[in-house]
Amino acid sequence: LRNPTLRIGTSTPGCDPSGDYTWAFFDKMDALERGLGQQLRERAIPLVGGRDTVRIPQGELASAWVLRQGLADLFIGYAHYAKTLRTLPNVRYVAIPAEYNIQCEYQLALLEASKDALALVEFMLGNGGQEFLIAAGFIPLTDE
């Protein structure tokens, strides 16, 4: 990331949560090394998730497609795509170390107590739902 020649592809902050998380990551980098986060923001290219960003073909994973098209040299995105990215040729996945990564907290709210809504909540909070979410790259549910 410190290499000033690398073009950093991102989602669009303010339009796509992944872009907001990426900018928060850049803030963490500023705390690590003064000015680094600002340098990263200046080199970042919001390519997806915005009103006027590139259109990703259906069936394509945005980060891999952006890289294959030569629109960026690296792309910062969601960790739950790691499993898929590792299977793609000519794409290298690198995890952000935990101490620098952003922890996103997702909420679950029940707006109606219909049978279907209650079944979904029960599944998501139960063992099957948690196994599914963990397999997709999410952190396990805690009591915190």
109: closest CA among 117, 101, 98?
117
The predicted pLDDT at position 68 comes to 93
Positions of the chain with pLDDT under 70: 143-144
The predicted pLDDT at position 144 comes to 61
64 DSSP 8-state letter: H
Q: Are 63 and 49 in contact (CB under 8 A)?
A: no
The predicted pLDDT at position 136 comes to 78
45: closest CA among 76, 21, 14, 81?
76
Q: Is the pTM of this model over 0.85?
A: no
Task: For 69-138, give the secondary structure using H, E and C.
Answer: CCCCCEECCCHHHHHHHCCCCCCCCCCCCCCCCCCCCCCCCCCCCCHHHHHHHHHHHCHHHHHHHHHCCC
55-76 residue pLDDT tens? 999 999 999 999 999 999 999 9
